[in-house]
Chains A and B, each alone.
Chain A
Amino acid sequence: MDPKTSLYVVVDPRGVTLAYPTEAEAVEALDGDMPPQTVRRTTFGEYLAENPRGLVRLQSQYYWAEDLRY
């Protein structure tokens, strides 16, 4: 994945970070049992640097960020 690709990040109630390629998908990922938060925008490069095992959902599949660095 291109390091400049935009990602939209949410954090689930267990503290797991999940990133989505569109804001709409990230908003959909929020639900009632999640703490109040805003969807954070970042780039793939920054997200990978922060946490290589942060999750990224692409095409109905969750990857670790490090899976997508190729």
Chain B
Amino acid sequence: MNVVFLMNDSLRRDHVNAYGVPPPWKRIGREGEPFIHTPNLDRLAGESAVFDRCYCASYPTIPNRYDLLAGRYGFPTRGWQPLLHEDVILPEIVRAHGYLPMTIFDMPGLNTNDYNFNRGFAIWRAIRGQLGDGFTIDTVDRPLPAAARKLRVIPTTKQFLRNRSRWQYERDYMCGQTLSAAMDLLEDNWTRDGFVLWIDMWNPHEPFDPPEYDLQRYCEPGYSGDRIIYPQYGRADYLSEKDLNHIRALYAGQVTLVDRWVGRFLEKLETLGLDKNTLVIHTTDHGHLFGDHGLQGKPTGVLGMLYEVTTRIPLMIRHPGGIGAGRRIDAIVQPPDILPTILEFLGVPIPPSVEGKSLWPLIEGRVDRIRDVAFSGRYSRSFGRPDQVARMEADAAQFDGWAGVVRNAEPLTVTTEEWAFICPPADRPRELYHLPDDPGQTRNLIAERPEVAAELHRRLIAFLEEHGADPQRIARYRGDDGRVQES
């Protein structure tokens, strides 16, 4: 048996048709047309067990990869940082049991600066040229496609434009390159039984720069304004309605590009007969804000509230024998659950270090819940490991725009089937939403339902304590660090 894991970074759940989420906005000049076109992911969903309540745990990119590879919740104690020597991770676990772990990825942060997320893979291939990856150098500064005040991290965007200048055909786009390499690897191994192929695509993550024919499906007809491929984060007021509409179209075009390449990859799997003995997992790490809650991107610091748009993510699992196919599962699950799910499928013992729970009891319909609450968050750079703060800031800013006001601890989110509780440090206002009545999280019920907030707050503090969070950090969320909560 084999496993293929497909990661599409920053893929919003409402941008995969199969999830059936109401469109979050209207597209100017595209009224009456389908909101998003993802026929290949929709087909995969029909053949898979589809999880409707998968919530990210550690956020964003690099912390999420730790959760996935180690099957643990990283954010109580870890931030954007390299793997540690003592970490017990997927490739090393399966390799010790005779499986061949392979990975192909285009996210440069996974193996630069000693991050070592390729550790343990018998075969690994890094596809160069994503975003700020120092892959192409010349003396020509390409013109920015938008006003500088709307673009973030100008030097990084310029490096992307340099890298991107070498692209000519669709296969040159990052997901095209990455999945083409993955398809080559499948051809090389089509008779092999016993591989784990981890494919980490950064698309549809920004820069949002799809082929024109994908963009034209979604953009305002006749639009001639800025092409804001890498928008600034934070308060979205700096964008006009037309700007925002075009950014949303760029993203949608990028999603459709990704969908098409995932479809080509799955077709290759089928052509080679590998669909008969290969488990396929498709997911993302988090969503991305496009004016939702008045915010853009993945803001941090005091603006770092993790709403459903960001936390609730796609996850589908296709068993080669059809187990769970077509099943919609509304149980709360999280990325640390994926490692034990893979290991159980392969018949590999689950190490004691793993905190996640196998999803097979849910997929097979033996249970309907494995937990009643999800914890989502990111590690504040303000607490612990001061020696690494500058390094984490620099790496995160370069690769994922994870930058902000460092003195603030980041808001954490606790989600149940009914409620979402957003807990910033105690001197900032908390938020509570009743998800069945208010899925868009527009009515903060923190004043009306204090008993619910208190219980979820208690659960959060207990979770942080159980997972070894720094007491100084916990105090910020508990509210006993001498600060007064704003009313």
Contacts and interface: CB of A to CB of B under 8 A. Distances in A.
A58 to B, nearest CB: 7
Interface of B: 147-149, 152-154, 232-238, 240, 296-297, 299-303, 397, 401, 403-405, 408, 427-428
A31 B145 CA distance: 12
B237 A61 contact: no
Contact of A61 (B149, B234, B427): B234
B400 to A, nearest CB: 11
Contacts of B147: 29, 31, 33
A58 B427 CA distance: 21
Contacts, number: 72
A25 to B, nearest CB: 9
A40 B74 CA distance: 44
Interface of A: 10, 12, 14, 16, 18, 28-29, 31, 33, 53, 55, 57-64, 67-68, 70
B481 to A, nearest CB: 14
B171 to A, nearest CB: 31
Given A29-B148, A57-B232, A70 B237 contact: no
B300 A62 contact: no
Contacts of A67: 235, 302-303
Contact of A16 (B153, B234, B237): B237
B149 A70 contact: no
B232 A62 contact: yes
B401 A64 contact: no
Q: Nearest 8 A-B pairs (CB), nearest first? A: A29-B149, A62-B234, A61-B234, A59-B403, A60-B152, A61-B233, A31-B147, A62-B235
A31 B303 CA distance: 27
Contact of B234 (A14, A53, A63, A70): A63
Given A28-B149, A60-B233, A16 B403 contact: no
Nearest to B302: A67
B167 to A, nearest CB: 25
Nearest to B147: A31
B397 A59 contact: yes
A55 B235 CA distance: 8
Contacts of A28: 148-149, 154
B240 A58 contact: no
A51 to B, nearest CB: 11
Given A18-B238, A61-B303, 9 more contacts: A12-B149, A29-B149, A57-B232, A57-B234, A58-B404, A61-B297, A62-B232, A62-B233, A67-B303
